[in-house]
Structure 1
Amino acid sequence: QRRDGLMLGICNGFQALVKLGLVPFGDIRPMDADCATLTFNHIGRHQSTLVRTRVASTLSPWMSRMNVGDVHTVAISHGEGRFVAPQPLLDQMIAGGQVATQYVDAAGVPSMDLSANPNGSVLAIEGITSPDGRVLGKMGHTERSGAGLYKNAFGDTYQPLFEGGVDYFRG
């Protein structure tokens, strides 16, 4: 329990973090009915597209170069990306600032519409953290960005996630 590192899981890495319990609990624990999970997209097939996500919390050091309300366009590519959790756990995560990012519509509002939230994640959740913020899991592929990569994409396609992680260790 005395550790000072960071952990990041994107897409399948997010699934692993959730299945282990590292997000949202911060500890490895067996899964039960009170746990969150990632499951099949509502439409029942793989989704590969660009989505807009809004920063909902900067609790995590990974998010330290962002502000609540920032919207980024990120790539997704998954068939099991729908985040679900029991309401008491969702309430606890919201109160603790653990909902890091949410899928949003063109106006920047969290949405359950499949055009904005293509997997149907509850509360439009795209990424969550451990209670202390040092573990972050998210579905969107932040690493899939670069100069000229998305020539016809709408919005800010650069999310300074990795720089936040580096800043944590530079102190």
Structure 2
Amino acid sequence: NPKVAEAVNEFLTKQDGLMLGICNGFQALIKLGLVPYGEIRETTVDAPTLTYNNIGRHQSKIVRTRIASNKSPWLKATEVGDTHSIAISHGEGKFVASEEVMRQLIANGQIATQYVDFNDNATYDIDFNPNGSTYAVEGITSADGRIFGKMGHSERIGEHVIKNIIGEKDQKIFESGVNYFK
């Protein structure tokens, strides 16, 4: 819808807004081009996308992710290298992109989070990368970092949530988003 696209563009360019898409929200952001391009645009054959998990079915579990870049306002309360235990629940969460696009994302610091093993190494091992994402990508940002899309459910935290799982759960995404406007 051109009116919605215009409103989103105004929100991002004139109001200095932030956008966050988790799981299906990430799917919407990437299909619209908001990540990684920072604007709504027609998708092309070579555009990054999210597709079916390698195993061809839904996965629901806790995974380890590592902060690969904290240039996004959403990740200002983290340090590069921080790891978190995050809930995932999806059937179409595999991030795919060409080598050329991956090189650009890496150079721009747009790969925000990656799936990692117990040694904090990005991996294709299905026990840690539940969907087979290229370069173990769990989340990416727009070039300016204000738009952040990720598969893991960072909102599924709390004093009584996944208590029996070791590791830090709070990526401070929401706190960082609020602090951006202070």
- Scaled by the length of structure 1, the TM-score of the pair is 0.97
Tell me, which stretches of 5 or more residues in structure 2 are unaligned? 1-12
1:62 corresponds to which of 49, 74, 77: 74
After TM superposition, give the deviation of residue 149 of structure 1 in Å: 1.2
User: CA offsets per residue over residues 29-80 of structure 1, 9 Å max, x none?
Assistant: 1111220000000000000000000000011000000000000000000000
Counterpart-to-counterpart distance in 2, 1:98 and 1:13: 17
More helix by share: 2
Equivalent residue, structure 2, for 1:37 = 49
2:26–2:150 CA contact under 8 A, matched in 1? yes
Amino acid at match of 2:42: P
Amino acid at match of 1:40: Y
Q: Which segments of structure 1 move beyond 3 Å, counting only runs of 4 or more?
A: none
After TM superposition, give the deviation of residue 145 of structure 1 in Å: 0.5
After TM superposition, give the deviation of residue 17 of structure 1 in Å: 0.2
What is the count of residue pairs matched by the alignment?
170
Counterpart-to-counterpart distance in 2, 1:152 and 1:34: 41
Amino acid at match of 1:51: V
2:138 corresponds to which of 109, 120, 126: 126
Note if 1:83 corresponds to 2:83: no
Tell me, which stretches of 5 or more residues in structure 1 are unaligned? none
Equivalent residue, structure 2, for 1:25 = 37
Tell which structure's C-alpha radius of gyration is larger: 2
Equivalent residue, structure 1, for 2:64 = 52
Structure 2 SS opposite 1:150:
coil
2:75–2:173 CA contact under 8 A, matched in 1? yes
- Scaled by the length of structure 2, the TM-score of the pair is 0.92
RMSD over equivalenced CA pairs, Å = 0.8
After TM superposition, give the deviation of residue 150 of structure 1 in Å: 1.2
Equivalent residue, structure 2, for 1:105 = 117
1:145 corresponds to which of 140, 157, 162: 157
Identity %: 59
Structure 2 SS opposite 1:133:
coil
